[in-house]
Amino acid sequence: MIKETSIKSTLFVVGLALGTQVMAMPSAQMLSYTCAGCHGTNGASNGPATPSLAGLSKDYLVEAMQAYKNDERSPTIMNRIAKGYNDKEFELMGEFFSEQEVHSIGKQSYDNAKAKAGKKLHKKYCSSCHSEGGTVTDDEAGLLAGNAALFMKYSLVDFHDGSRDMPKKMKKKIKKMLKRDAKAFDKLVNYYSKGE
């Protein structure tokens, strides 16, 4: 009887250990697979309205996911998706995507005259935070150049109509820019689509 109880106890402990293994935190790569359907393999998107995640800074990605989870960014499908993850999983995703090579969408159509005007606008109003033409990802301001054109367009509109928060400095600069040029967003999107 004692021997039988001992075997049952051992099996129970082994069962708990296996259960713990099954419930263990998924790896960063496994978590990234859940993003691939929209953001591409390893975060390299080629969709017209979905941003690439590859090469973005870990802090930027974690803050973005937390903002979606807390409904601090305009409501998209991301708000619902982000609620399914915890902060540790956001950290793992951020680490994984930050280690990938920066991905730019190639061959996006753009108007060269608008892109040229957009370059001037970028230099005047955006370059203090989005350095090197918006190609740098570790300045915590996200990737602009080579990102999906529709994503850029929607993001600028979200910032402008207040459905997405922006720093005071950015708000002031956008207001000033649009006062001087009502078509500034279109020119910027053409410049970023060119991916210089």
CB atoms within 10 A of CB 35: 19
Residue range 21-48, pLDDT digits in tens: 455 788 999 999 999 999 999 999 988 8
- Asked if 108 and 153 count as a contact pair (C-beta separation under 8 A), the reply is no
Whole-structure pTM value: 0.77
Residue 43 gets the label, from left (phi > 0), alpha (psi -120 to 50) or beta, of: left
Q: Which two tokens stand for residue 80?
A: 């619902």
Helix (H, G, I), strand (E, B) or coil at 142: coil
Tell me which amino acid residue 74 is: S
Residue range 153-195, pLDDT digits in tens: 999 998 999 888 888 999 999 999 999 999 999 999 999 998 8
- Asked if 98 and 56 count as a contact pair (C-beta separation under 8 A), the reply is yes
